Amino acid sequence: MSAYLGKSTITETVSRLVTEGSFNSCRLLHGRGHCYPGLEFVTIDWFDPVLLITLYKPPPDGWMDAFTAHLMTLLQPQFAGCALLQQRYLRGSPSNLLLGELPDEIVAREGEWRFLLNLGTNQNTGFFLDMAPGREWVRHHASDRRVLNLFAYTCGFSVSAFSGGAKSVLNVDMSRSALETGRINHQLNGLQDRLQRDAGFHAHDLFRSWGRLKKRGAFDLIIVDPPSFQRGSFVAQQDYRKVIKRLPELLAANADVLLCLNDPQLDEQFLLRLVVDNAPSLRFVERLNNREDFPERDSNRSLKMMHFTY
């Protein structure tokens, strides 16, 4: 691994981040994309000033010591941030500092947008870098529209919709704490007025809330970004069909729908078949391009963001 880092663009990228300063968050190594043989278990992300290294499986014997030594040599002495290691394969996904100290508040930066992060405690950071093309797409399609954000999590799509001039956004997610972080994200992006007047936050089980959603009227834009597998809540292979089948009940004429899926075991044909079989009034338009810093050897395994019209 140390030899790989020494010869790769990762070294160049980290050096640039350190010497020039870069505020935009990005992925430095996407090992899970299977483009780097032997590194499928690791990702490295930059959330200024934090370098986040995430391990998804136990590394080979001796790998961690060699990697840490090389990282320290690479970063010191000019690096003013910190390096955090998360072991996702262990119970509780524990994190420990390799270098420096965690700031009291850490945000992901995506151009002019800011999103609050939770590093060092939770399994997930509270923000998904790879969904950036979807957020940008929403910004360009939200003007003067009523938006429904299903499986909203921390409401990144809501922030982008209001940034694009949305008339209103209703965010629905089972997690009340995630939606509270979503409120903070609106405040971080100067959307206090829209937050008070035009944003809704419903901490409900979607499958028990269809009646409530229908009463809110027809929506011009619906975003569906569910977890791939969340025991007791949502399993994409079984439950996505139920969502797609009910979507036409909530859609206005000429509405747009963005269906997202990040399960490497389910390809884009899975979503296309579900739409044909359960909501044939939806017409497929395009699949959005993924971020360049998330390279995938097989596009079927990567994040799917699919645009449909009604």
Between CA 88 and CA 81 the distance in angstroms is 22
Strands (E), 207-275: 219-224, 229-230, 234-235, 251-261
pTM across the whole model: 0.91
- Answer whether 223's CB lies under 8 Å from 172's CB: no
Domain annotation for the chain: domains and CATH numbers:
2-116 (3.30.750.80), 129-309 (3.40.50.150)
**How many other C-beta atoms lie within 10 A of the C-beta of residue 241?**
17
Between CA 282 and CA 272 the distance in angstroms is 10
List pLDDT tens digits, range 108-158.
999 999 999 999 887 889 999 999 999 999 999 999 999 999 999 999 999
Q: What percent of the chain is predicted at pLDDT more than 90?
A: 62
167 has a pLDDT exceeding 70: yes
Q: Name the 3-class secondary structure at 44.
A: strand
List pLDDT tens digits, range 66-115.
888 877 777 766 677 888 999 999 998 999 998 889 999 999 999 999 99
